[in-house]
Every structure is written in C-alpha cells, then in structure tokens.
Structure 1
Amino acid sequence: MPGGLAMMQAWGWLFVPDGRCVVLIDTEDWWPLLPGGTVEQLADGGDPVATLKREAVEQAQVSCVDPQYLGYVYDDEGAVHGGIDPCARVRMAARVTQIGPAAPDPATGRMLLRLLAPAQQAVELFGWGEQAHLHAAAAERLAIERWGQRPAPGATVSEIPAAGVVW
C-alpha cells in the first residue's frame, strides 16, 4: 500500500476445497460482488483482515482463515464513499472452512445469492475487467500453492445450498 492512502474497503477471493471461490449476487440490483466491504474503525480496528472475516460472515455466512494480501484497486476520488479523497480497495484471498445456512445481510436486510465459481470464470461472466483478471490469477496461484486448492477441470458455477456446506 502506498503511504498515506486510506484503506476504505477489503474484498476477498474466498476459496472452497474444490478450488472455486464464493461470488455473491445482490438480487435487488443484480450486482455481482466478492464478499467484503467497508473497513470500520469501531468493528475492525481499521484492519482489512478483520473486515474481510466480518463481512464474509455477515454477507455470505462464510467462515474463512489465513487471509493473504493480493493487492488493491486504486480509487482516485473515493467514489464509493461519496468522493472523500483517493483511497484503496484492498483485495485478499482466503481459505473457506465452512458456509453456514443462508441469512439476510444485517447491513441491508437483503438475502444475497451465494455462488461458487472458478475465479477466472467469475471475472469473465461478470465483466470485471483486466485488473480483476490479475487479482483472480494471483488468488488462484495462492490457493494452489498455499492450500492445495486447484480448480477441477470443467468446474462450473453453482449455487451454494441454502443449508450451507461444511468440509
């Protein structure tokens, strides 16, 4: 992180044992996203790792371990926070240990559609752009090298069961 650049958000490529990652769909706006959100001083102490873990549970009922920093997306005006100043949106990768039963996001009261998808397929499917391809590739390398989680050939996008998953 460049010195003096505020970390406003933390998002993660969260990998399950079969090498796919968790992708969420906001069913009101049909907006695809990775689990994560705003770094909060009170709840997270300004720590993006704590933010990722908290937001993954709140949004997707996902418990994850071993978050690893991948990089960040530079936001030159802090547009997501009302134009506050330049800031960073941190990107990480982590290993999923379990996915609980579906529940509404306490911040919005909405249910998010929970999917599992190969990282590069998610980038293509949702048109997230070149920077997302780079982060997805780095996340996949990390998942393979650190956790032995290689995407299965022919892996597809599927919905996470409403009851959750435990490995």
Structure 2
Amino acid sequence: MADPGPRGALPMLPGGTVESTDATPEDTLRREAAEEAQLTLTDSVRLGWVLDKSGDVYGGVGPNARLRLAARVTDIGPAAVDPATGHPFARLLATPAQTAALLGWGLPGARQAQLSAGTARERWGLPTTSPSAIEEIPTEGMRMS
C-alpha cells in the first residue's frame, strides 16, 4: 500500500496494534488487511520477529519486537476509506522482493521476502514470480484465480 499523504506516497504494509477484539496476532493481520487494503486473507504463517529499537512509529514506545506474518490473499475488494486515517490507500501489486526494497528494509527485509516467497511456493503451491513493473490495483479490486 501507499499512503498518499502530504509528503508524498509513503509505502507500507497493512498492520497495526492488536485490539481487544483480536484473539491472536493472525486476527489482527486479517482485520488490518481488510480495513486498510480490503484484502481477504487465509492461512497466515508467522515468519519471525524484527527488532524496532525506538518504537517511534507508535509514539516512541521504546524497544519492541514486531511480528512478521505472511498470508494467502483470496480476494481484493473495491478500494475503501481506512477507518483509522479517513482516506483510502493506494494498493500496489509487487513481488515480496520488490516490496522489501520499496520499504527500505535492507537485509532483514530481503530475508523476510525470501521466507515469504518460499512459504507461498511450498505451502500454497504458488509460483515464484519474476520482478515486473509494480502496478496499482484497480479501484474496483481484483479477482484472484
């Protein structure tokens, strides 16, 4: 996704804070993906943790670990307004490696991309895709085959 904010498009992945209605981090992923990107997910997998030394993204909460998950996308619905920000996000179609590079996550991001692509291939039988142009998902959504 990209947040088309006043300082230009900021790339990000769906995610956020666990809420009282979320029984598991996987529930948080499904809820946030639906709210922010209108994605329906299934069969989520924990890839690991990333150390956030400052916690600046969440108001300087201090050092913490961020769980990284992958999930199979089963539906991409029409674009909608994110309830937390009051505006829709641009939704981008990119490979895991392109996503890690776009986010600027360096070597830890490259490892996560490899894990994600390997999970897609081994667990869900999805092919490893070659890099191509990053595309914006149409406003009306996409059918998944």
Superposed pair shares fold, TM > 0.5: yes
1:135 aligns with 2:112: yes
CA 27–164 in structure 1, closer or farther in 2 if over 3 Å, else same: same
Alpha-carbon distance between aligned partners in 2 of 1:78 and 1:123, rounded to the nearest angstrom: 19
Q: Please report how far the alpha carbon of residue 130 of structure 1 lies from its aligned counterpart in structure 2 after TM superposition.
A: 1.3
Are the equivalent residues in 1 in contact too, given 2:2–2:91 (CA < 8 A)? yes
Q: Give deviations 1:116-154, integer Å, cap 9, x for gaps.
A: 101112222342211111111111100000011123335
CA contact (8 A) 1:100 1:165 kept: yes
Name 2:127's counterpart in structure 1: 150
**Residue type matched to 1:44 in 2?**
D
Say whether 1:115 aligns with 2:85. no
Whole-Å Cα distance in 2 between the matches of residues 111 and 82 of structure 1?
23
Q: For residue 51 of structure 1, what is the aligned residue in structure 2?
A: 28
Amino acid at match of 1:38: T
**Larger deviation, residues 126-135 vs 106-115:** 126-135
* Inter-partner Cα distance in structure 1 for 2:55 and 2:101: 25
In the alignment, the residues of structure 1 paired with residue 58 and residue 104 of structure 2 have an alpha-carbon distance, to the nearest angstrom, of 23
SS of the equivalent of 2:26 reads helix
Cα 1:143/1:110, change in 2 over 3 Å:
same
Q: 2:18 aligns with which of 19, 39, 44?
A: 39
**Distance of 1:75 and 1:126 partners within structure 2:** 15
Cα gap change, 1:160 to 1:53, in 2 (>3 Å): same
Residue of 9, 34, 38 corresponding to 1:61: 38
Percent identity among equivalent residues?
Answer: 46
Paired letter, 1:98: D
Structure 1: 5+ residue stretches without partners: 1-23
**Displaced runs of 4 or more, over 6 A:** none
Structure with the bigger percentage of strand: 1
